[in-house]
């Protein structure tokens, strides 16, 4: 027998595994940009995510179903390139959390960048916007099977050192965040996701980086481990209340080309 899936249960779940074969794109899609500013760990990120979801008054609305213990939203399409990963991301996160936001009466949704008025030439892989088409968050998606796209591997190797590869990995999305006035952003290869925040520390603009959140994480009461959907729910609450930020640092003081 199948069963109903309610809002909180959906947020607590791991993402469906990404289906892939030995045949796929092989080239790195990391842009030749490096972030030059101050980089910090985002303090108490996971604790704040969990406090937000545990203290939320959750709707009892049914937003999904299982059939014979199988979730009807499980992935059934194999992916071999970035476009495929983006589609699976929007299915597992954008579409699912869109139902959650609606049930919780939060005016925010995932969207393609071209849905916004006057989007310009630069096109982030994913955004979040309000019903008034206010841009609230930008994100970039890469494929997980290219070693240069692995986030945790590079975050563990002196990530905040001035010439670290991690600064290159986040350069593209941090440039978008500055140019588009977004306080919040993310970088994901579906299997790993980090969340980024630009803020003024009283002296200059800096970036805070969350821990790596794995797609396989599930909610366990009393555990500090948070799920990807919990994190996006938390970021959505922060972002929808945040207006545009005006980071006036010179371009090269923030992100510059390393061609």
The whole domain housing 152 covers: 4-23+30-257
> pTM to 2 decimals?
0.94
Cα separation, 25 vs 130, in Å, equals 34
The token pair that represents 147 in the structure block: 């070693």
Q: Using 50, 70 and 90 to split pLDDT, how confident is the model at 168? A: very high
Taking only the tens place, the pLDDT of each residue in 206-239 is 999 999 999 999 999 889 999 999 999 999 999 9
What average pLDDT score do residues 124-134 get? 95
Q: Helix H segments across 27-185?
A: 45-54, 82-89, 96-103, 151-155, 165-169, 171-180
pLDDT value at residue 143: 95
Cα separation, 245 vs 144, in Å, equals 31
Taking only the tens place, the pLDDT of each residue in 233-244 is 999 999 999 999
pLDDT value at residue 68: 59
What is the domain count for the chain? 1
Taking only the tens place, the pLDDT of each residue in 35-76 is 999 999 999 999 999 999 999 999 988 877 776 555 656 667
C-alpha pair distances (Å), 142 with each of 42, 173, 238: 22, 11, 24
Q: Helix H segments across 137-223?
A: 151-155, 165-169, 171-180
């Amino acid at each position: 027998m199948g069963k109903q899936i309610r809002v909180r249960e959906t947020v607590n779940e791991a993402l469906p595994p990404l289906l892939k074969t030995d045949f796929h794109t092989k080239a790195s899609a990391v842009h030749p940009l490096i972030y030059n500013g101050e980089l910090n760990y985002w303090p108490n990120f996971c604790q704040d995510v969990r406090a937000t979801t545990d203290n939320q008054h959750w709707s009892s609305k049914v937003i999904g179903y299982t059939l014979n213990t199988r979730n009807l939203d499980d992935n059934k399409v194999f992916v071999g390139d970035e476009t495929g990963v983006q589609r699976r991301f929007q299915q597992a996160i954008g579409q699912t959390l869109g139902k959650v936001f609606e049930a919780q009466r939060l005016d925010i949704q995932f969207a393609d960048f071209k849905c916004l008025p006057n989007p310009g030439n630069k096109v982030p892989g994913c955004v979040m916007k309000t019903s008034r088409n206010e841009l609230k968050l930008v994100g970039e998606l890469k494929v997980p099977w290219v070693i240069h796209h692995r986030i945790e591997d590079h975050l563990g190797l002196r990530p905040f050192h001035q010439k670290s590869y991690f600064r290159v990995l986040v350069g593209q999305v941090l440039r978008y965040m500055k140019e588009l006035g977004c306080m919040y952003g993310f970088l994901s290869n579906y299997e790993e996701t980090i969340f980024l925040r630009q803020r003024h520390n009283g002296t200059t603009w800096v970036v805070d980086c969350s821990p790596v959140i794995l797609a396989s994480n599930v909610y366990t009461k009393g555990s500090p481990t948070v799920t990807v959907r919990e994190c996006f729910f938390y970021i959505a609450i922060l972002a929808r209340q945040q207006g545009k930020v005006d980071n006036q640092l010179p371009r090269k003081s923030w992100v510059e080309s390393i061609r």
